[in-house]
Amino acid sequence: MTRTGPPGASLGEGSQMAVPLVAEPSPVTPREPSPRTVKGIMRAAGSALPAPRMSTSILAIDGYGGAGKSTLAVLLVEEFLAQGLRVDLVHTDDFASADDPLNWWPRMIDQILEGVSASRDVFRPYLSLAVWVEMPADERLRRGLERDGEQARDQWRRWMAEEVAWGDAERPWERADVVVPGVGDGS
């Protein structure tokens, strides 16, 4: 699949260049991202045009909790900045609440997103590119408890059940432009 547009900047205001979208295989779960994964997403972002009626591109990095979305997002921001491009990173956790962790999206128009359900169906029309971060449930739980402490186990189990229910209903990995294996420390 290739999205086309005139040559130009790869993310943010302005036009994009045509680059094939890349999906990375995930035979193993790396602790650090493969340069191929970051470069593949950068190529995909370079070809992603802003969604209709949007003046900027929004790249969503989605996946269940503990999959490595935040780590991947930081690496992508560093790469965009190294290329001299303007980019803002917004975590859906900054807008979600413990009582309502999935209904952050109405406040997120005109942003770049990272977080669980960032590419949800109702928000998809605003996205230029959706990335799904894949990670086995047992590893996500291990990472979450490593980060949040054993006292959060019940909360993590409830949250994981909610994530799976949402994922089963919307199947965001099937509509993602790029699917990558989880990376980093599970942040």
Tens-place pLDDT, residues 106-122: 665 545 677 788 888 88
The pLDDT assigned to 2 comes to 28
Give pLDDT, residue 112: 62
What number is the average pLDDT over the span 156-181? 91
Instruction: Evaluate if residue 9 carries a pLDDT over 60.
Output: no
**pLDDT computed for residue 104 by the predictor:** 66
The string of pLDDT tens digits covering residues 158-170 is: 999 999 999 999 9
Alpha-carbon gap, residue 121 to 179, rounded angstroms = 17
Q: Is residue 171's pLDDT more than 90?
A: yes
More confidently predicted of 187 and 63? 63
User: What is the chain's mean pLDDT, rounded?
Assistant: 73
Distance CA 30, CA 181 (A): 7
At position 143, the amino acid (one-letter code) is R
Task: Give the model's confidence band at 50: pLDDT under 50 very low, under 70 low, under 90 confident, else very high.
Answer: confident
**What pLDDT band is residue 32 in, cutting at 50, 70 and 90?**
low
Is the pLDDT reported for residue 29 higher than 60?
A: no
Domain ranges (residues) in the chain: 2-181
Question: Residue 69: pLDDT band by 50, 70, 90 thresholds?
Answer: confident
Kindly report each contact of residues 93-99 with a partner whose C-beta sits within 8 Å and lies 24 or more positions away, as own/partner: 98/155
Cβ neighbours for 186, distance < 8 A, ≥ 6 positions apart: 66, 67, 68, 71, 139, 140, 142, 143, 144, 146, 147
Helices (H), 126-179: 137-148, 153-170, 172-175
Q: Which residue has the tokens 């990558």?
A: 180
Q: In angstroms, rounded to a whole number, what is the distance separating the alpha carbons of residues 55 and 123?
A: 16
CATH topology of domain 2-181: Rossmann fold (3.40.50)
Give backbone dihedrals phi and psi of 62, rounded to 5 degrees, phi first: -115, 165
Residue 105 confidence class, pLDDT cut points 50, 70, 90: low
